Structure 1
Amino acid sequence: MKKLNIISGIKQYRSEVDTNFHMPGHKGKNGILDEIGNNLNFYDITETLGTDNLHYPTGFLKDAMEYIAESYGSKKSYMVVNGTSCGIISAIMACTNPGDKILVQRDCHKSVYNACILGDLKLFYLYPEFNKKHGLNFSISLEKLEQMLIDNPDIKMVVLTYPTFYGICFDVKKAAEIVHKYGKILMIDEAHGSHLHFCKDLLPPSAESSGADIVTQSTHKTLPCMTQGSIMHILSDRVDLNNVETMLRMLQTTSPSYILMASIENAVHWMNENGEERLKRNIEVFKRRTLELRNMGINVLEDDFLIGEGCFDFDATRAVISMSELGITGTELQEILRYEYKIQMEFADLMYTVGYITATDEPEDIDRLFDAVKEIYLDRSQSNEKREIVQIEAFPQLQHERKMRKAFYSENMLVDMDDSIGKTAAEFIIPYPPGIPLVCPGEIIVPETIEYVKVMLENGINVNGVDKNNQLRVVK
Structure 2
Amino acid sequence: MADKNQTILDFITEYNSKAITPMHMPGHKRNIAAANYLTALGGGYDYTEIDGLDDLHDADGIIKDAMDKAASLWHSKKTFFIVNGSTCGILSGIRCATSYGDSVLVARNCHKAVYHAIELCGLHPYFIAPAVDDSFEIYSSIDPVEIEKALLAHPSIRLVILTSPTYEGVISDINSISAIAHSYHIPVLVDEAHGSHLDHCDYFNGGAVNGGGDIVIQSLHKTLPSLTQTALAHINGNLISSSDFAYELGIFETSSPSYLLMSSIDGCVNLISKQGRLLFDNWKCNLQEFDNSMRKIKKLKILCHGEDSINNHTCLYKFDRSKIVISTKDTNLSGTALMHILRNNYKIELEMASNTYAIAMTGLLERPESLDILSRALLAIDQDCKAILSSAALSVPPIPPMKTTITKALSCKGSIVPANKAVGKVIGEYVWAYPPGIPLIVPGEVITADFLQCVDNYYKSGIPLKKTFSNNYNGFHVVEL
The bucket for the TM-score relative to the shorter chain is 0.7 to 0.9
- SS of match in other structure, 2:239: coil
2:253 corresponds to: 252
* Residue 309, structure 1, aligned to residue 310, structure 2: no
Contact 1:163 1:190 in 2 (8 A): yes
- SS of match in other structure, 1:208: coil
- SS of match in other structure, 1:354: strand
Length-normalised TM-score, structure 2: 0.84
Contact 2:434 2:463 in 1 (8 A): no
2:478 corresponds to: 474
After superposition, residues 306-455 of structure 1 pair within 5 angstroms as 306-310=310-314, 311-381=316-386, 386=388, 388-394=390-396, 396-415=398-417, 420-432=422-434, 435-450=437-452, 452-453=454-455
1:213-259 deviations in Å (ceiling 9; x for gaps): 11000111111111111110001121012221111111111111111
1:249-300 deviations in Å (ceiling 9; x for gaps): 1111111111111112222222333444333333333344334434432310
Contact 1:220 1:230 in 2 (8 A): yes
1:16 corresponds to: none
* Cα distance between partner residues in 2 of 1:210 and 1:221: 20
**How big is the shift at 1:434?**
5.8
Distance 1:364 1:242, change over 3 A: same
* Cα distance between partner residues in 1 of 2:293 and 2:90: 39
- SS of match in other structure, 2:400: coil
1:327-384 deviations in Å (ceiling 9; x for gaps): 3222222222222222111112221101211111112101111211111121122x8x
Contact 2:414 2:479 in 1 (8 A): yes
Contact 1:69 1:75 in 2 (8 A): yes
Length-normalised TM-score, structure 1: 0.85
Which deviates further from its counterpart, 129-138 or 258-267?
A: 129-138
* Residue 268, structure 1, aligned to residue 269, structure 2: yes
From 40, 43, 63, the counterpart of 2:42: 40
After superposition, residues 158-169 of structure 1 pair within 5 angstroms as 158-169=160-171
Contact 1:109 1:437 in 2 (8 A): no
2:61 corresponds to: 59
From 122, 129, 132, the counterpart of 1:130: 132
Contact 2:355 2:463 in 1 (8 A): no
- SS of match in other structure, 2:217: strand
- SS of match in other structure, 1:438: strand
Q: Which has the higher contact order (CA 8 A, sep 6+)?
A: 1
2:468 corresponds to: 465
Structure 1 unaligned residues grouped into runs of 5+: 1-35
**How big is the shift at 1:413?**
2.8
**How big is the shift at 1:317?**
0.3
* Cα distance between partner residues in 2 of 1:245 and 1:197: 24
Distance 1:426 1:243, change over 3 A: same
* Cα distance between partner residues in 2 of 1:232 and 1:216: 5
**How big is the shift at 1:205?**
2.8
After superposition, residues 46-195 of structure 1 pair within 5 angstroms as 46-195=48-197
Distance 1:474 1:342, change over 3 A: farther
**How big is the shift at 1:37?**
8.1
* Cα distance between partner residues in 2 of 1:96 and 1:84: 18
Distance 1:324 1:312, change over 3 A: same
Which deviates further from its counterpart, 113-122 or 294-303?
A: 294-303
Return the letter of the residue paired with 1:299. K
Distance 1:53 1:285, change over 3 A: closer
Which deviates further from its counterpart, 356-365 or 133-142?
A: 133-142
Larger Rg over CA atoms: 2
Contact 1:429 1:466 in 2 (8 A): no
1:218 corresponds to: 219
* Cα distance between partner residues in 2 of 1:274 and 1:450: 53
**How big is the shift at 1:312?**
1.6
Distance 1:45 1:93, change over 3 A: same
* Cα distance between partner residues in 1 of 2:267 and 2:420: 50
Which deviates further from its counterpart, 229-238 or 423-432?
A: 423-432
* Cα distance between partner residues in 2 of 1:466 and 1:221: 30
Distance 1:41 1:406, change over 3 A: same
2:200 corresponds to: 198
Distance 1:356 1:275, change over 3 A: farther
Contact 1:294 1:300 in 2 (8 A): no
* Structural RMSD (CA): 2.5
Contact 2:433 2:463 in 1 (8 A): no
Distance 1:451 1:347, change over 3 A: farther
What percentage of aligned pairs have identical amino acids?
33
Contact 2:132 2:140 in 1 (8 A): yes
**How big is the shift at 1:468?**
5.5
- SS of match in other structure, 1:353: strand
Distance 1:49 1:275, change over 3 A: closer
Return the letter of the residue paired with 2:116. N
Return the letter of the residue paired with 1:346. E
Structure 2 unaligned residues grouped into runs of 5+: 1-37
- SS of match in other structure, 1:102: strand
* Cα distance between partner residues in 1 of 2:135 and 2:42: 49
Contact 1:275 1:359 in 2 (8 A): no
* Residue 296, structure 1, aligned to residue 297, structure 2: yes
Work out the number of aligned pairs and report it.
Answer: 437
